[in-house]
Amino acid sequence: MPEQRADREKGKKAKKEKKPAPPGRKKRLLLLLALLLVVGGAGAGTYFFLGHRTPEPEQAQKRPKQSESAKLAHKDLKDFTVNLADAEGNRYLRVNIVVEYPENKELEAELERKGTVIRDAVLSFLRTKTVASIRDPAGSEKLKEDLVGIVNRHLEKGEVKRVYFTEFLIQ
């Protein structure tokens, strides 16, 4: 029995003694740790410098507050199809216009009541436009601003704040 005990103790000592790691394995581990640090640092730097920006005060003021946008109503003025004032030939514009206004029952009723007059004014105005004047985004934005003014000329109970195009086709 003492021999078995001595064999067991030798076996335990052999198990406790580990073989030294191959020299290439330590280098790989160090390279892996260095690579993880570089990638982690790059990710953190990207987050803090690019992804973690606060809006500039000017931009924050331009955005409508949630409560303000909730108080706005929209009225679809339907489709308008008009011949454009181009000398090149028969060109036409097909546009669907939606107006945005502060929620107001009197203004809503006035828009409904004066719908025919407003449509006539918009049609007359659109017929004076050329393809060149409305083709690019700046021309389209100018057209929206002009339409706000035209619609507001016919209103007494309030005013339209913005015009949206839900369809805009030049042919």
| 137 lies in the same domain as 75 | yes
pTM of the model: 0.59
Beta bridge partners of 95: 80, 168
| 105 lies in the same domain as 150 | yes
Q: Is 102 a member of any domain?
A: yes
Task: Show the domain range for 153.
Answer: 66-170
Q: Is 22 a member of any domain?
A: yes
- Report the mean per-residue pLDDT for the chain: 82
Q: Indicate the angle between helix axes 105-113 and 115-126, nearest 10 degrees.
A: 70
| 44 lies in the same domain as 74 | no
User: What tens digit of pLDDT does each residue of 125-140 get?
Assistant: 999 999 999 999 999 9
User: What tens digit of pLDDT does each residue of 31-42 get?
Assistant: 888 888 888 878
Percent over 90 (pLDDT), the chain: 53
Q: Which residue has the tokens 């009197």?
A: 106
| 71 lies in the same domain as 9 | no
State how many domains the chain has. 2
User: What tens digit of pLDDT does each residue of 6-47 get?
Assistant: 556 655 555 555 566 566 778 888 888 888 888 887 877 777
- Could you please report the per-residue DSSP string of 56-96? PHHHHHHSPPHHHHHTEEEEEEEEEEEE---TTS--EEEEE
- Could you please report the per-residue DSSP string of 129-145? --HHHHSSHHHHHHHHH
Q: Is 43 a member of any domain?
A: yes
